[in-house]
Amino acid sequence: MNAEAQRQPPLKTSKTDRVRISVVVATYNRQASLVQLLEDLAAQSFTGFEVVVVDDGSKDEVTLGGLTPPFPLRLVRQANAGAAAARHHGITLATGEIIVIVDDDMRVGADFLAEHARTHAEGATLVLGLIAPDTDIAHKPLFERMHQALLARMVARYERDPSSVRGTQVCTGNVSFRRAEYLAVGGFDLDMKRSEDRELGLRLEKNGAKLAFSAKAKVTHKSDHVDNGVWLERNFRYGIYDTRLAKKHPDVAHANPWSFFERVSPLSRPLLATVVAVPRLGRPLARVVLGAASVCDRAGLERVAIAGATLCYGIEYFHGVREELGSLWSTIRDVRAYRWKKRERS
């Protein structure tokens, strides 16, 4: 622990103000946005919480910028090991019965923790909070607007059918769960460098967690992602790790990448199948499609542009799926196994 962390108040509260919630934040190279988040947490209407911040090896060691928070705060630093390892580290240090995880590039309103607490009090043990776009979303990169459109459709589905919330939809940008349940299922799988939140949510659901979505437990995403190349690589990695997730949980059909393939537009499937068959086409084709979508975006055809970005995501995703499965024959066998299991369940 660094010197500044040692100066922070100990994680103890009085009997009348027992810690019930532990907010865990993993941070990496986001000093300014982290301080803003801590300022938001200082203004919460809910009391009786602590915050554990884990600096995952930032280039410049994180400081609090003169902030003296009114809540117990522990700031620790670790060698860079990834967000999942940092969050797990924070959870092991936490003392609250409820863990709230929020990203270091989020802003939260005054009732954020109160709404998570209320939803747990109503019986939920795994709560997915709302991730809302920044007010300047119209000026964000196309891929950010695409993800926001997908999220908006998911939220609309939750509100139509609350039972549609699944563990595989867990996002560590804004989620809460019982610490005891987290530890009971073994925590994050630290070998999963992507989709570790979805995999954790799936294990919690299998273990009997009661899932709920709360639109009032809201964060605003102040994303600083701007690099198309980084985004393409991230999509590729999601394909790899979602395939590993499916292998780990073969009994869950909706966690399998081929279930995603079945849900995409029939017009997109031939192109995605081509990438699966000839994976070396993946990255060049994705760049061409993203370039065409960007042209449409500049021409004011945002809906067409978002559809193009969604296709681009799918191309790199299934490029990653094929990378993980290896040969074309292994891929064909995997598709057959998925379809066979699906028929068995129906």
Q: Which domain holds residue 184?
A: 3-221
Based on the fold, state whether residues 237 and 193 are members of the same structural domain.
Answer: no
Based on the fold, state whether residues 205 and 334 are members of the same structural domain.
Answer: no
Based on the fold, state whether residues 199 and 246 are members of the same structural domain.
Answer: no
Tell me what percent of the residues of the chain surpass a pLDDT of 90. Answer: 72
| pLDDT tens digits for range 232-258 | 999 999 999 999 999 999 988 889 999
Pick from 80-89, 127-136, 279-288: least confident: 127-136
Residue-wise DSSP of 250-290: TT-GGGSHHHHHHHS-TTTHHHHHHHHHSGGGHHHHHHHHH
Based on the fold, state whether residues 251 and 282 are members of the same structural domain.
Answer: yes
The encoded tokens of residue 311 equal 């296709």
Q: What is the mean pLDDT of residues 266-293?
A: 95
| pLDDT tens digits for range 111-166 | 999 999 999 999 999 999 999 888 887 888 898 898 888 888 888 888 888 888 89
* Whether the Cβ atoms of residue 41 and residue 110 lie closer than 8 Å to each other: no
Based on the fold, state whether residues 99 and 190 are members of the same structural domain.
Answer: yes
Based on the fold, state whether residues 47 and 119 are members of the same structural domain.
Answer: yes
Average pLDDT, the chain: 90
Q: What is the mean pLDDT of residues 18-36?
A: 89
Q: What is the pLDDT of residue 164?
A: 84
Is residue 346 scored above 80 in pLDDT? no
Q: What is the pLDDT of residue 18?
A: 52
> Domains in the chain: how many in total?
2
Pairwise pLDDT comparison (184 vs 223), residue with the higher score: 184
Nearest to 62 by CA among 40, 38, 85, 84: 38
Of the residues 188, 221, 254, the one at which a domain ends: 221
Q: How far is CA 124 from the centre of its chain?
A: 19
Tell me what percent of the residues of the chain surpass a pLDDT of 70. Answer: 94
Based on the fold, state whether residues 104 and 154 are members of the same structural domain.
Answer: yes
Based on the fold, state whether residues 63 and 168 are members of the same structural domain.
Answer: yes
Of the residues 176, 205, 221, the one at which a domain ends: 221
CATH code for the domain in which residue 24 is found = 3.90.550.10
The encoded tokens of residue 272 equal 């995605």
Reported confidence tier of residue 11, pLDDT bands at 50, 70, 90: very low
Q: What is the pLDDT of residue 139?
A: 83
